Structure formats: C-alpha cells, structure tokens
Amino acid sequence: MTWLVTGGAGYIGSHVVRALIGAELRAVVIDDLSTGRADFIPAGVPFARGSILDIELLMRTMRSHTVTGVIHIAGYKYAGVSVSRPLHTYEQNVTATAGLLAAMQNCAVDRIVFSSSAAVYGTPDVDLVTEDTPKDPQSPYGESKLIGEWLLRDQAVAVGLRHTSLRYFNVVGSGDDGVYDVSPHNLFPLVFEALVAGRTPQINGNDYPTPDGTNVRDYLHVADLAQAHVAAALRLDAGTAIEPAYNLGSGNGVSVGEIMAAIAAVTGIGFTPQIAPRRAGDPARIVAGGELAARDLDWKMRHSIAEMVQSAWQARNAAVSD
C-alpha cells in the first residue's frame, strides 16, 4: 500500500512519513515547502514539490506512484492569523481539499485520513470535549477544518470514499532530532527562542479559574500523533469499521504554567514568566477525551510532559548546531 502525505515535509507530516515507513508502508510526499523543509523528508521517499491546489500535479503523483490512500495534513494552520486572512485560509484549506478529493476520485483512490483540529469546537463550556460536543468554530481556520470534514462526509455518500478525521490540540516534541517545530506561532518554539535570546517568556493571563490560574490545554507528542494517523490508515486499508472523527486528547490537560516549569527544568534556564493580559476569547480550559481513539487506533499518551519538552529542546538544539 502506498500513502500520499500532503504536507509531508512539515513538522507533523514528516513524522507521519516516518511512522508509515516504520509500519512498512510506502510513502510519497507532496509539499510546496511554504512552511515545510525538504530535509525533513526521509531519504528515499519520493517527493513532488508543488501546491495541492494543482490538481494535475496531484493526479500525476497518484498515478506514477500507484497511490492507494491519502493522509491529508497540508493546510494553513494559524488560527489567529486566519482572522485577518480568511480568503487565503479558505483557499488553502477548503478549495485545496475539494481539489484533492476530485483528484482522488479521478485516480480511483478511495481512502483518506484527514488532519482536522479541535478548533472545530470553538470554546466549548464543558470539562471534557467528546466527538459529540457541538461544533462552533471561532475562526476561519476552525471553520475551514469543519468544512473539510463535511467534504469528506459528502464524498463518502457520493462515491463511497472511506475516511476519518483526527481532531487534536497542541502538538509538541520531536521523534527525530532532524525534525523540529519551526512555527513562529506555537508555544514551545516561542519559549525556546525567547530563552536563547535572553528574553523572558510570557503567559497570557494567570487569573483563570484553573488550579494555577493559567490556561489548561491538551499537549500531545508528535510521534504519538503520527502513530494514530498510521493506525487510521491501516484500519482503512483493512476495510474495518471506522468512526468519521476521533479526538486525540489526553483526558486531563496541562496548564501553561506547568509547561513553563517543565521547560525551565529541562533546559536548566531558570525564569519566572512575565504575566501579560489575557488574549480575547481564550477559554480557561479545553481538554478532550480520547476513548474512541484508544479503542480503535491504539491511541495513548506515550510521553510525559518532561519527555515532550526534552525531545523538542534536543531537536531544536541539534538543528541549530548543524
């Protein structure tokens, strides 16, 4: 079986490629390198450089490599920025997904794992988010992911597409020293770069109704996330029953304050975070359960917070020293 990984040169996508190889599945990557890096792709993995908006490129790649399934990770992933760039976000996440599905239909590729997001839930007022929690996205990014799920659902009705969507929150850590999070918007790289530059990292609000006053979120190790994508792909390959969507959550969550303490302990750089004002619309707590994914995809939290921080810090430093 050969799986096309869109966005396979990115932080998450390249980990998925490695997990596919570890499961003795063939992988092919398509990526425009707008945020991904060619050196994140393992040696020997076929790579087509280009946009997934290019339907002809998608079809050529699928046919030339006899692709049987797609793991769709490519997209514009910055929720906050999407508010000021809605048209760009919809083009990259909705138009491109529709085109990908058209290319798959033309090439008789009938299975897809979609990298969705917990942003489809918005800011739910519940202790634990489940797959049935009402969807109320609060940004064009969250809306685009929900529309992507609808496209898969409708294509399943129309042509029998087999699919599942994986919804998740904050992805951190590294499963390979050659791959690290390069996003300018994510917590770990923001804190690491501040510390290296001698600046004090900041926390947006410490007066929330949580144990330490800071926001509580799910933090997931990227290698665990990658394994869940592969488990979903294998389930689709086997023709086994699969849910339309799964939450990949911890069930507990970790506060930003706890993350800061773990970073200080792992890096050996002591600091007291600067407290900044709350960000508008930031809920106190968003944590998802993962019971369905545990049942069907062998989902579990295999790494502690300290291990997540250590692997991310190690990969960041390895990259800088190269």
Q: What is the mean pLDDT of each run of 10 residues along the chain (322 residues)?
A: 97 98 97 96 97 98 98 92 93 98 98 96 91 94 97 98 96 95 90 94 93 94 98 97 97 94 96 89 86 97 96 91 68
- Which residue, of 208, 228, 248, is where some domain finishes? 248
Q: How many domains does the chain have?
A: 2
* Pairing of β 69-72 and β 170-172: unpaired
Beta bridge partners of 178: none
Please, which residues have CB within 8 angstroms of residue 23's CB and are 6 or more apart in sequence?
230, 234
Q: Are residues 55 and 201 in the same domain?
A: no
Are 99 and 191 found together in one domain? Answer: no
pLDDT at position 281 is 67
User: pLDDT at position 322, please?
Assistant: 63
Instruction: Report the chain's terminal Cα–Cα distance, integer Å.
Output: 35
Q: Which domain holds residue 287?
A: 187-217+251-321
The answer on 279 and 132 residing in a single domain is no
Supply the pLDDT for residue 264: 96
Helix (H) or strand (E) holding 318: helix 305-321
| One domain, residues 192 and 149 | no
pLDDT of residue 81: 87
Q: Which residue has the tokens 């303490």?
A: 261
Residue 9 and residue 139 in one domain: yes
CATH number at residue 52: 3.40.50.720
Is 177 among the domain residues? no
Could you give the 3-state DSSP secondary structure of residue 202? Answer: strand
pTM value is 0.95
With respect to residue 23, please indicate whether it lies within any of the assigned structural domains. Answer: yes
Nearest 5°: the CA angle 17, 19, 23 is 115
Please give the pLDDT value at position 222: 97
Q: Of all helices (H) and strands (E), which one includes residue 296?
A: helix 291-297
The set of catalytic residues is 141
